[in-house]
Amino acid sequence: MKKYNLITASILSAGILATGNAMANSSQCDSQDAHYQQCDNQLGWYLGADVGIAKTDVGRREVERFFEQSQLDADVVDVDDQGNAWSAFVGYQFNTYFALELGYLDLGERSVDFTGQTADLDAFYDNVEHIYPQSAEGATINVVASYPLSERFKVSGKLGYFDWRGDYQTRESGQGVGQDSVSDHDIWYGVELNYRVANNWQAYLGFSQVNLSRDDNDVFNLGVRYYFGGGKSHKVKPKLEPVKQSMPVKQSAPVKMVEQDSDNDGVFDHLDKCEQSDSRYQVDSDGCTLMQPQQASFNLVVRYANDSAEIAPNYFEKIAELAEFVNKYQVNSLTVTGHTSAPGSKAYNQTLSEQRAQSLAKMLVEQYQIKPEIINTQGKGESDLLDTSNNEQAHQLNRRIELSLKEELLLPVKK
């Protein structure tokens, strides 16, 4: 499965020059005000970040049940259902009781180790790539409602919207053999215990539950917020004494030129001939993506309704991804093989299997402008059954086409 990279979040804060006015304000807040809201200068804009642990409510038993429901002969070796989570955000505190935050949330990595056996390895990988404990990363927006307990403590409740995506990979001996991507938007909620460390700093302990499309994630975190100021508080104006001083002559400081690298590829902009190169891949001295011959493989299984050669809409996204890859990297050969279930005459099933193979070829040519001469179609009728049982589940498994791509292509070199 795909591993999310853990990123250590840090907060950058501007230096604050303490004046006599601010020092008097701090002293009076600490000594005279008994309640949090009476001396609340943690208002206005702020930055925040936290780190913690996220745990998916899926264990070995649930994963084994997924294998059984998918009719896969596989055994779970280990399930890693938790990972390091982090978030970073910007917020605005309207008053002591209400704030709005916008940020980014990463729930960390998950993995499942398993063993299995099958007669059709491609079909096995195509099914098993959808079985995993869900995790996600993406943008989040949430409201924060708070209630002060004392001059330093308050409790907060949070309700948010999560626009997320999860990317997963199936690997065998370190090689990718399958992948899956899921994106959605869901609601999450949580609670915090907040502590005012200093006038501009707040620390907090939190718990959140993030409800993804299939699995729930519990998040325990520790974080900080830095407030830039702007809140109302008591102020003591010191008496200002006139100061006599001579006016120094200002001298211009030398201007230091800073080299820019807009696309973060390691090549400065004035030398970069490919300004928007993908930072995931290596580049040459001109800043252009480095390409080299690599062995590429792509397997796609599309299942059909009984006595039908029409492709179901739920396969359109994967077909579009395949077509984009074929056009982008100039693939020279695709093989599409059609199959049927056992019911019906062999002659009829042979014709139907050919029609199914041609249905995918037609879509690739007409909708994605793939050259018809690179597509090889064939029908095998009922001669290559995945399951020889005489029941509806076996028939559904056997009604399919299989597309395979195995070719050496000129591909970008990953970092």
The overall average pLDDT reported for the chain is 81
Domain boundaries 291-412, CATH class: alpha beta
Query: What mean pLDDT do residues 8-24 have?
Result: 32
Residue 122: HSE in the Cβ half-sphere, 13 Å Cα cutoff: 15
The set of long-range contacts for 263-268, using a CB threshold of 8 Å and a minimum separation of 24, is: 263/287
Per residue in 192-229, pLDDT (tens digit) is 999 999 989 999 999 999 999 888 999 999 999 999 97
Whole-model pTM: value is 0.46
- Predicted local distance difference test score (pLDDT) of residue 152: 93
Torsional sign, CA 381, 383, 389, 390: positive
Assess contact for 234 and 220: CB atoms under 8 A. Answer: no
Q: Give the whole-angstrom CA distance, residue 278 versus residue 281.
A: 6
What are the residue ranges spanned by the domains of the chain?
Answer: 20-227, 291-412
Q: Give the whole-angstrom CA distance, residue 206 versus residue 192.
A: 4
Query: What mean pLDDT do residues 73-93 have?
Result: 88
Query: What mean pLDDT do residues 350-373 have?
Result: 93
- Looking at 2.130.10.10, 2.40.160.20, 3.40.50.970, 1.10.10.10, the CATH number of the domain 20-227 comes to 2.40.160.20
- Predicted local distance difference test score (pLDDT) of residue 381: 92
Region of residue 315 (left: phi > 0; alpha: psi -120 to 50; beta: else): alpha
Q: Give the whole-angstrom CA distance, residue 165 versus residue 82.
A: 17
Among candidate residues 388, 409, 385, 411, the one with its CA nearest the CA of residue 398: 385
Per residue in 168-194, pLDDT (tens digit) is 777 776 676 677 888 999 999 999 999
The residues, ordered by sequence, that sit 6+ positions from 56 with a Cβ below 8 Å of its Cβ are 81, 82, 110, 133, 134, 135, 215, 216, 217
- Encoded tokens for 12: 């950058």
Q: Give the whole-angstrom CA distance, residue 17 versus residue 20.
A: 10
Distances (CA, A) of 18 to 21, 78, 240, 373: 8, 55, 16, 74
pLDDT over 90, % of the chain = 44
Per residue in 241-296, pLDDT (tens digit) is 555 555 665 566 665 667 787 778 778 887 878 877 788 888 888 888 888 888 88
For residue 116, pLDDT over 90 is answered with no
Assess contact for 25 and 236: CB atoms under 8 A. Answer: yes
Pairing of strands 201-211, 216-227: antiparallel
**Residue 218: burial class (beta carbons within 10 Å; 0-12, 13-18, 19+):** middle
Question: Which residue has tokens 């990988």?
Answer: 125
- Predicted local distance difference test score (pLDDT) of residue 263: 76
pLDDT over 70, % of the chain = 79
Q: 3-state class of 136 per DSSP?
A: coil
Among candidate residues 158, 51, 52, 49, the one with its CA nearest the CA of residue 100: 158
